[in-house]
Amino acid sequence: MNAEIEAAVANCTVCCEKQRSNSKEPLQPHEIPCRPWQKVCADLFTWNNKEYIVLADYYSRFFEIDQLRSLSSSAVIRKLSVNFARHGIPEILMSDNGPQFASAEFADFASRWDFKHITSSPRYPQSNGLAEKCVQISKNILDKTYKDGIDPLLALLEYRTTPVDNLASPAQLLMSRRLRSVLPTTGKQLQPKVVEPADVCARREQVQSRQKLFYDRAARNLPPLQMNDSIYLQTADKTWKPAQITRVDPNRSYQVQTADGAQYQRNRRHLRHTPMRNPSSNADDTPTDLTSVPLQKVTASTSSKPTPSKPMTVTRSGRVVRAPQKLNL
């Protein structure tokens, strides 16, 4: 009966469409770079009806904010080119799958400037978590300075000169020197000083290990999917629709195709493998029709067989202990 119930649910279209979301999987932290501006990430955001782009360094947590006049790929490429000319060309650029980053023009830009462009799975922003965090910090800075009437660039300068994660400031980690701000500083403090990369990596690993420990408490691994597997894809409205695996990418990313021919790239968390089970294929199942089970006849000799009498037990008070009547099986 349990097998038939599972098979009925697995073959029910409505049940499959209304299933709950998958549980989160164990955290996969990004690899810590060994030097500044080796790996960066970018993301777009909107504030006060204006478009901005943020570019952050994984090593130092130093980030740049630039306002965009349009959301085209050429406008994004122009702002990235200016920052790359200032700080150098990174080896890896992380971004989401926005149309500005997924265009052929941006692919040509990555080829000409000789850096590797890696995109996160759509609808999975935590894969580009550092950029999302920098967007949050940027919005807080813009909100506070706008309400208080302060220059946002001055507030951004103070953030870049503030130590983070019990390390040096982002400016020190990126440029090996302090930046002069409105806070009083001495000439000795402004002298260049290199922070040991081994100390930075050790501290970053310690922070990542602590984050992973707390995150993995409510996480579990989902079984991997294979090519041509029939799966269900979770849509934006949290419902599921049938699809098929067409490509398996690293880091739990998959290329899927729906019944209408549309192609999607999704994380494993947005895919569910629902096997189709056929209860009739199980030969060891017991028959469910009770009328098909032959009834055994009770012979007269069996029903008339005398039961042996048991000795009577009397307590000290004179009460007779009667043994319970049990079936003689």
Which pair of tokens denotes residue 223?
């079984």
Q: In sequence order, which residues have a C-beta less than 8 Å from that of residue 270 and are 6 or more positions away?
A: 22, 121, 123, 124, 233, 234
DSSP states along 258-317? ETTS-EEEEEGGGEE------GGG-TTPPPS-GGGSPPPPPPHHHHTPPPPPPPPEE-TT
Do 211 and 239 belong together in one domain? no
Cα dihedral sign, 213-215-220-226: negative
Separation of alpha carbons 52 and 69, rounded Å = 9
CA-CA distances (angstroms) from residue 141 to 43, 146, 154?
A: 17, 8, 10
Q: Is residue 294 part of a domain?
A: no
Do 92 and 158 belong together in one domain? yes
- Is 298's pLDDT higher than 90? no
Q: Is residue 62 part of a domain?
A: yes
Q: Mean pLDDT across the stretch 231-237?
A: 90
Q: Is residue 241 part of a domain?
A: yes
How far from chain centre, in Å, is Cα 295? 58
Range of the domain at 200: 39-217
Q: In sequence order, which residues have a C-beta less than 8 Å from that of residue 169 and are 6 or more positions away?
A: 160, 161, 162, 163, 178, 179
Count of the separate structural domains present in the chain: 2
Separation of alpha carbons 198 and 215, rounded Å = 26
CATH of the domain at 267: 2.30.30.140
Do 196 and 232 belong together in one domain? no
Q: Is residue 175 part of a domain?
A: yes
> What pLDDT is recorded for position 276?
56
> What pLDDT is recorded for position 164?
87
pLDDT tens by residue, 34-80: 999 999 999 999 999 999 999 999 999 999 999 999 999 999 999 99
DSSP states along 144-171? HHHHHT--HHHHHHHHHTS--TTS--HH
> What pLDDT is recorded for position 17?
84
- Is 293's pLDDT higher than 60? no
Do 127 and 227 belong together in one domain? no
Share of the chain above pLDDT 90, in %: 63
For residues 288 and 275, which has the higher predicted lDDT (pLDDT)?
275
CATH of the domain at 85: 3.30.420.10
Q: Rg of the chain over CA atoms, in angstroms? A: 34
| Cα 56-59-60 angle, rounded to 5 deg | 70
pLDDT tens by residue, 143-167: 999 999 999 999 999 999 999 888 8
Do 212 and 248 belong together in one domain? no
Q: Mean pLDDT across the stretch 161-190?
A: 91
Tokens 């208080």 sit at which residue?
Answer: 148
Q: Is residue 255 part of a domain?
A: yes
> What pLDDT is recorded for position 282?
44
> What pLDDT is recorded for position 300?
45
pLDDT tens by residue, 81-112: 999 999 999 999 999 989 999 999 999 999 99
The rounded mean pLDDT for the chain is 86
- Is 194's pLDDT higher than 70? yes
pTM as predicted: 0.76
Separation of alpha carbons 137 and 143, rounded Å = 10
Separation of alpha carbons 321 and 324, rounded Å = 9
Tell which of 176, 193, 217 closes a domain: 217
3-state secondary structure of 28: coil
